[in-house]
Structure 1
């Protein structure tokens, strides 16, 4: 979620950039392209995905209402990266913010400057914590933490995507969910 201190910045950015309504399964950034855009999800759900060496697709990240989603390695390097972004909920309203335009705005606004710094820092912290969680927490712990943080995701998101996001198989996820019934 966007922190309360950055709500005004996002409101200002949504006045500058246009939103698009996307359908489920629509790809907004394709794998192996150069893409340097930030996205703000006003309403809906999207995921960052990649393909393994057997062409199976995997969920790397999920963002939903009032969150940003971006492939920071592509934004910062300006090179092709093996990730894409797919919309996973119908009628998702998403703002595309080209990074070069955000940089321009950032140079003129201390608030946008702070927002960008916080966004990058928060992303690094979350990704670092996710890596540690994958290594030290059980599948059961990861599932229950996700449910506590995002209770609506179980109704909105394909369970295969959730399993991938949590670093488990669908069978493991089904077993954990079955234990709660």
Structure 2
């Protein structure tokens, strides 16, 4: 999905990996978020506000199976279906908690701690995802990630 657009959909990743990314002033791309198998990915700030954001979503694993869920349709279903309403409330609450934890981790934890937490939470991602994307997700450069990994071997 293109950057600087209004995003109106949520995506369910049945199988595969996708990332949220942005470009800096030097046109280098940076990974903001990664989601994989059996999870959701969306640019919630754009979906909820109806405003363009400087982020995009990119599928980064071949043979990914991803389903688009138009937010407007979910809103229509929510009014007549209590299960959909509960699902949406749970999804937004979980997303808010996860993003809050991620922000705290980036501000408080060392690169070593962030890497250790990442490996503990997502051990298979190291084999599936480009290390440059992982470094960005962890808030470090590829050089820092290489150094952390080398020290742990």
TM-score normalised by length of structure 1: 0.83
Q: CA shift at 1:162, angstroms?
A: 0.3
- Aligned residue in 1 for 2:128: 156
Say which of 52, 66, 74 aligns to 2:24: 52
**1:1-181, aligned counterparts within 5 Å?**
29-181=1-153
Q: CA shift at 1:180, angstroms?
A: 2.1
Q: CA shift at 1:106, angstroms?
A: 1.2
2:10 and 2:130 mapped to 1: Cα distance?
24
Residues 110-168 of structure 1, C-alpha deviations (whole Å, 9 max, x = no match): 11111111111111111111111111101000001011111010000000000000000
1:94 and 1:32 mapped to 2: Cα distance?
22
The DSSP-based 3-state class of the residue aligned with 2:118 is helix
Q: CA shift at 1:56, angstroms?
A: 1.0
1:35 and 1:78 mapped to 2: Cα distance?
7
After superposing on structure 2, the runs of 4+ consecutive aligned residues of structure 1 that deviate more than 4 Å are none
130-139 or 42-51, larger mean C-alpha shift: 130-139
The DSSP-based 3-state class of the residue aligned with 1:129 is helix
Residues 66-105 of structure 1, C-alpha deviations (whole Å, 9 max, x = no match): 0000000110111111110001100100000110011111
Q: Which runs of 5+ in 1 are unaligned?
A: 1-28
2:118 and 2:82 mapped to 1: Cα distance?
33
2:81 and 2:37 mapped to 1: Cα distance?
25
TM-score normalised by length of structure 2: 0.98
Q: Which runs of 5+ in 2 are unaligned?
A: none
Corresponding residue pairs, total: 153
